[in-house]
Amino acid sequence: MPRKQGELYSVTRQSKKQRYGMWRVLTGRHNSVEFSCMEAGHTKFHPDWHFGLWKVKWRHYSAETLQEIAESVTDSSRNNHNIAQLVDDEDCPVKFFDWKLYLKQFFKQLPALTTYHHFWMIKESLGVVFDRKDCDNDEKQFRLLKKSCN
């Protein structure tokens, strides 16, 4: 059965998150990483709400420069949840990395990735991702680290 474009994008993002989380545990940046993914079709979550706040503010904002657009983002949130990140800002540069390409050399793809929604990795089991399809299902383990990286 062919995948829809949105589903393929979701698989790529989930795979990248797993590999990045595993990399952070393996390199000692965290003792553990845990995350849960929403089921397909459940797309309303907190960042969408904050983006919506900015959209409301933007409709009535008069901005002519990149700095003024950034100010509109900051002004859209009373609690400073919306923070503009300017790519060409010399004082606070945003750096981009090709994590997918870098991490692919160390980690395997989790089979049937879209059927799982809860993932965690811990320093006591380096290279292993623990997962559950749903919070009520039994825990499974998968060795994500390629054998050549041991």
What would the pLDDT profile of 61-83 be if each residue is shown by its tens digit?
Answer: 777 777 888 888 888 877 777 77
Q: What is the mean pLDDT of residues 104-116?
A: 82
Question: What's the rounded Cα separation, in Å, for the pair 42 and 90?
Answer: 38
User: What percent of the chain has pLDDT above 90?
Assistant: 7
Question: What's the rounded Cα separation, in Å, for the pair 129 and 39?
Answer: 19
- Which pLDDT band holds residue 6 (cuts at 50, 70, 90)? very low
Report the SS3 class of residue 32.
Answer: strand
- For the chain, the domains span 6-149
Question: What's the rounded Cα separation, in Å, for the pair 25 and 140?
Answer: 19
Type of residue found at 59: R
pTM of the model: 0.57
- pLDDT at residue 10 tops 60: no
